[in-house]
Amino acid sequence: MIIDGALLRRLLPIGLAILLFAVLAWPDRSLAAGEAKTFTFLYVSVADDAHYAQTKSYTGLVLRDRKPPIDGAQAAIRESRIIGRSVGVKFSLEHVELESAENAADRLAGLIAKTAAKAVLLDLPPAPFRAVVGRFSDDDDVVFFNIRHRDDTLRQSTCAQSLFHALPSNRMLTDALAQYLKSRGWTRILVLAREAQEDRNLADRFVASAKKFGLTIADRRAFVLGNDPRERDKNNIALLTGGARYDAVFLADGEGEFGRYVPYATFRPRPVVGTDGLVASAWHWTWERYGAPQLNQRFDRRASRRMAEEDWAAWVAVRSVVEAVARSASTDIAAIKQTLTADDFAVDLYKGVPGSFRPWDHQLRQPVLLHTYNAVIARAPIEGFLHKDNILDSLGIDQGESTCRLDEQAP
Amino acid sequence: MNIAGMPCAATNFARPAAKMIGAGFLACLAWASAASAAGTGNIIISNEKSSTLTVLDAGNTVIRTIETCARPRGMHFSADRTQFYVGCADDDQIAIYDMESLELVGRILDVEEPETFDLHPDGKRLVISNEEDATATVFDVVEREFLDEFETGEEPEGVQITPDGKLAFVASEAANLVHVIDLEKGEVIKDILVDTRPRRFALTPDGGELWVSAELAGIVNIIDLKTLKLVADIAFLPTGFRKEQVTPVDVLITTDGQRAYVALGRANHVAVVDVPKRKVIDYLLVGKRSWGLALTKDEGKLYVANGLSDDITIIDTASLKPIKSVPVGMVPYGILIDDH
């Protein structure tokens, strides 16, 4: 068949339109065939971050040895290869370590431009974290993930359109504990808090959780680490936990040096929860339900260590974006954000309930694990606690009380 | 191993990978196991956490508990049904048992964390999901050779081979994909994006549809096999349960293609589905976290493994009533019924 030039010129646009339509309407949710697109994640940390310094205790004991959770992000990237194959996207991860926290936002702007990264995992201390979030708060081209901070104010007064939170907030964690205490009938709680701002804040969150779930605060007491007999009512655990009637002790001690001596040393024989004893976390290496052993083993095999909750947060941040790319069949950030906050978004958390992001504050909805040092005792939301929309919203500051209204600002 | 009175063939067997050198395979072929046409009538249950097999007789009484390899999960009959295969995840092997004597007659070693598998109609090729390696591997169970390997998404789980032997489907739990493997070409020809955490398959007898349970989505996805595209979903919600408690795993479709049974996991029920209408007709209360399913040959009884109550429930399919529950080992996973 011979087609003359004029006819071809007339038919060509129609043909192209049909081709374009076929590509757009492709029901397999895969991106246009041809060369795979790349989608780059950036993992940002800062050199000599005190957060990761080994905290040696008296006599050289290493009580805390945090590892940067980039291993979690790498695990998720490895898992994404075949999903990428199915949608024609190659996911990659670049790690940049800032020399210092100064001008973190400016430096990061250059790095984002240089790497063409579309999603950024922030492993930064509070000050540079806030600086970066402030600088990019309404950025439309990049999505940022909080994989480290539990501070509720990041989800409230300083929430941002471009920021998503993979780790649960403190209030989600204290709500989880309060649900558990209530379900056990341990309703009178003695609150012990270190006199540091972060621990006072944590105790405040717990007090709010207690109110929400109908617990009674038997008393709230501050403790100090030391042996000064003049301060014995604040540093002696028996005195500190005497003279009150309570069913359980809530402990707020981010440092941990005092707190580790509280269980089994209280005046009354009562369980300890909070920063010691029964602890609320996003993840635990002994979690054995809902496919968790597979994820824990997969992580351990590569990273040669146990998966910590920050590792899990980095993992779920990457997995969420990958899921959004696969479901939206797009690498466009606006489409990804819309997918992440859609009602029907579902990322497998390995905690039995699919995860999604709250549209009003971009917090990942998720169950919280309540665990001892070597066993998960319960998973919150605890059976029996209900919510009008989503049972996971029984954990944390709910839509009605939130001062963050990202869903109303959204374009 | 050697079983007195049985001719044993010792065969060296190794996967062609450096780390596998020296891995041996010892096989004793069962001595002309003369199972009758009706089989032994026994029911075999793999108990994932206690690493045992529970054997019930046709009257549903526990007659034996067999210590087996570590973390036994998927099971399958051999082509002539005189043997059965048990995949042991923590021992990286597939154990082969004689159906009649219930003796271990062989092992396929170096199968990385096997979860489930399906036997090709040729009776030789076993297609296995290797959970930790994110691969599907093919082993020849007669020649006892490693044949092929395919990359899958993380945590491959259900395996289904079409009756014509041309395609194998492998579900990747973590990638939300169903991989379509063309066994003649030896390549993955398609990755079908399905709903969250796909687990198991069932084919309609006419070969038209592939049903896939999506555990976290609480639904079954239906894939049209001509186009390899999703065409419908079936959602489940027994009375009194929340959506997130509905976590379907095993799916069975009856040979007349009329009815399907879907184990609903944490919802502690089995759904009964009208297949042509794609409608749920009943929910049957069973034990905690029902997941493994098996039907008797006449399809009159449905056996349900309850992973979190360490028992099985036996359902009369005519009346759709549970008739008995039997305590077995810890975390019962798979069920085989030797009544053919």
pLDDT at A133: 95
pLDDT at B37: 61
Exposed e or buried b per residue across B229-248, where buried means at least 16 C-beta atoms within 10 angstroms of its C-beta: ebeebbebbbeebebbbbbb
- pLDDT of B17 above 90: no
Pairwise CA distance, residues B116 & B88, whole Å: 10
pLDDT at A54: 82
B340 Cβ neighbours under 8 A, 6+ residues apart: B37, B38, B39, B81, B297
Same-domain status, A348 and A205: no
Which residue of chain A is at minimal alpha-carbon distance from B230? Answer: A28
| Nearest residue to A135 via CA among A151, A153, A120 | A120
How many other CB atoms are found less than 10 A from the CB of residue A289? 15
Structure tokens at B190: 């398609």
- pLDDT of B272 above 50: yes
Contacts of residue B195 in chain A, CB cutoff 8 Å? 346
Pairing relationship of beta strands B52-56 and B43-47 according to DSSP bridges? antiparallel
Q: Which residue has the tokens 């891995």?
A: B23
pLDDT at A410: 52
Q: What is the ipTM of this complex?
A: 0.76
Contacts of residue A348 in chain B, CB cutoff 8 Å? 173-174, 176, 196-197, 216
Contacts of residue B193 in chain A, CB cutoff 8 Å? 28-30, 86-87, 326-327
| Nearest residue to A311 via CA among A123, A31, A92 | A123
Same-domain status, A193 and A235: yes
pLDDT at B21: 36
How many other CB atoms are found less than 10 A from the CB of residue B50? 19
CA distance to partner chain A, nearest, from residue B176 (Å): 8
- pLDDT of B20 above 80: no
CATH code of the domain covering residue A112: 3.40.50.2300
| CB-based contact B315:B286 (threshold 8 Å) | yes
Which residue of chain A is at minimal alpha-carbon distance from B308? Answer: A289
Evaluate whether residue A379 is within a structural domain.
no
pLDDT at B288: 96
Residue A48: burial class (beta carbons within 10 Å; 0-12, 13-18, 19+): exposed
Evaluate whether residue A87 is within a structural domain.
yes
CA distance to partner chain A, nearest, from residue B152 (Å): 6
Evaluate whether residue A31 is within a structural domain.
no
- CA B93 from chain center: how many Å? 16
Same-domain status, A249 and A346: no
Of B177, B197, B229, the CB nearest to A348: B197
Q: Which residue has the tokens 């341990």?
A: A186
Pairwise CA distance, residues B328 & B336, whole Å: 14
CA distance to partner chain A, nearest, from residue B243 (Å): 9
Structure tokens at A66: 């945090």
Domain count, chain A: 2
Residue B228: burial class (beta carbons within 10 Å; 0-12, 13-18, 19+): middle
Evaluate whether residue A384 is within a structural domain.
no
pLDDT band, residue B8 (cuts 50/70/90): very low
Pairwise CA distance, residues B117 & A375, whole Å: 32
Pairwise CA distance, residues A322 & B154, whole Å: 14
Inter-chain CB proximity A291 and B134 less than 8 Å: no
- CA B204 from chain center: how many Å? 17
Same-domain status, A133 and A63: yes
Contacts of residue A354 in chain B, CB cutoff 8 Å? 196, 216-217, 244
Structure tokens at B251: 């799916």
pLDDT at A322: 97
Structure tokens at B158: 């259900």
Same-domain status, A68 and A128: yes
- At which of A281, A315, A342 does a domain end? A281
Residue A237 CB-half CA count within 13 A: 17
Of A30, A82, A346, the CB nearest to B217: A346
Contacts of residue A301 in chain B, CB cutoff 8 Å? 132
pLDDT at B15: 41
Same-domain status, A305 and A269: no
Per DSSP, A393 falls in state: G
- pLDDT of B4 above 70: no
Collapsed DSSP state (helix, strand, coil) of residue B313: strand
Evaluate whether residue A374 is within a structural domain.
no
Could you tell me the CA-to-CA distances from B115 to A335, B10, B93, B97, B289 in Å, in that order?
36, 26, 10, 17, 18
Of A83, A298, A346, the CB nearest to B196: A346
CA distance to partner chain B, nearest, from residue A20 (Å): 20
Partners of B251 in the beta sheet? B262
Structure tokens at B194: 């399905």
Inter-chain CB proximity A79 and B191 less than 8 Å: no
Q: What mean pLDDT is reported for chain B?
A: 89
Same-domain status, A41 and A164: yes
pLDDT at A190: 98
Same-domain status, A257 and A289: no
Which one of A74, A78, A294, A344 makes the best mutation probe of the B interface by having the most chain B beta carbons within 10 Å?
A: A294
Same-domain status, A150 and A293: yes
CA distance to partner chain B, nearest, from residue A86 (Å): 5
Contacts of residue A27 in chain B, CB cutoff 8 Å? 229
Walk along chain A (411 residues) and give the pLDDT tens digit of each residue: 444 444 444 444 444 444 444 444 434 444 544 567 899 999 999 999 999 988 777 777 888 889 999 999 999 999 999 999 889 999 999 999 999 999 999 999 999 999 999 999 999 999 999 999 999 998 889 999 999 999 999 999 999 999 999 999 999 999 999 999 999 999 999 999 999 999 999 999 999 999 999 999 999 999 999 889 999 999 999 999 999 999 999 999 998 989 999 999 999 999 999 999 999 999 999 999 999 999 999 999 999 999 999 999 999 999 999 999 999 989 999 999 999 999 899 999 999 999 999 999 999 999 999 999 999 999 999 999 999 889 999 999 999 999 999 998 654
pLDDT: is A83 or B33 the higher one? A83
Pairwise CA distance, residues A196 & A266, whole Å: 22
Of B155, B175, B176, the CB nearest to A291: B155
Contacts of residue A291 in chain B, CB cutoff 8 Å? 155, 173-174, 197
| CB-based contact A150:A167 (threshold 8 Å) | yes
Pairwise CA distance, residues A394 & A401, whole Å: 12
Inter-chain CB proximity A294 and B132 less than 8 Å: yes
- At which of A230, A254, A281 does a domain end? A281
Contacts of residue B216 in chain A, CB cutoff 8 Å? 346, 348, 352-354
CA distance to partner chain A, nearest, from residue B175 (Å): 6
Query: Reading across the β-sheet that carries B135-140, which strands appear in turn?
Result: B114-119, B125-130, B135-140, B145-151
Measured in residues, chain A has a length of 411
Pairwise CA distance, residues B24 & B108, whole Å: 9
CA distance to partner chain B, nearest, from residue A3 (Å): 33
Contacts of residue A346 in chain B, CB cutoff 8 Å? 195-196, 216-217
Least confident of A346-355, B6-15, B43-52: B6-15
pLDDT digits (tens, 9 = 90+) for B58-114: 999 999 999 999 999 999 999 999 999 999 999 999 999 999 999 999 999 889 889
Q: A104 is in which domain, residue-wise?
A: 37-168+285-367
The chain A residues in contact with chain B (CB within 8 A) are: 27-30, 79, 82-83, 85-87, 291, 294, 297-298, 301, 323, 326-327, 346-348, 352-354, 391
pLDDT digits (tens, 9 = 90+) for B198-249: 999 999 999 999 999 999 999 999 999 999 999 999 999 999 998 889 999 9
Q: Which H helix or E strand runs over B118?
A: strand B114-119
Q: Which H helix or E strand runs over B269?
A: strand B269-274
Pairwise CA distance, residues A25 & B129, whole Å: 33
Structure tokens at B299: 């399809």
Radius of gyration for the alpha carbons in chain A, expressed in angstroms and rounded: 24
Evaluate whether residue A373 is within a structural domain.
no
Could you tell me the CA-to-CA distances from B286 to B265, B282, B315, B320 in Å, in that order?
10, 13, 9, 11
Same-domain status, A159 and A180: no
pLDDT at B198: 97
- At which of A332, A351, A367 does a domain end? A367
Which one of A82, A298, A320 makes the best mutation probe of the B interface by having the most chain B beta carbons within 10 Å?
A: A82
Residue A312 backbone dihedrals phi, psi, to 5 degrees:
-65, -40
How many other CB atoms are found less than 10 A from the CB of residue A137? 14
Exposed e or buried b per residue across A357-374, where buried means at least 16 C-beta atoms within 10 angstroms of its C-beta: bbbbbbbbbbbbbbbeee
Inter-chain CB proximity A79 and B154 less than 8 Å: yes
Tally C-beta pairs within 8 A across A and B: 72
pLDDT at A22: 42
Structure tokens at A96: 């940049």
pLDDT at B125: 96
pLDDT at B144: 81
| Nearest residue to A352 via CA among A373, A368, A363 | A368
Same-domain status, A69 and A134: yes
| CB-based contact A82:B134 (threshold 8 Å) | yes
Same-domain status, A140 and A203: no
Collapsed DSSP state (helix, strand, coil) of residue B177: strand
Inter-chain CB proximity B153 and A326 less than 8 Å: no
Inter-chain CB proximity B229 and A27 less than 8 Å: yes
Could you tell me the CA-to-CA distances from B340 to B102, B257, B312 in Å, in that order?
17, 19, 21
CA distance to partner chain B, nearest, from residue A320 (Å): 12
pLDDT digits (tens, 9 = 90+) for A309-332: 999 999 999 999 999 999 998 999
pLDDT at B19: 38
Evaluate whether residue A16 is within a structural domain.
no
CA distance to partner chain B, nearest, from residue A117 (Å): 23
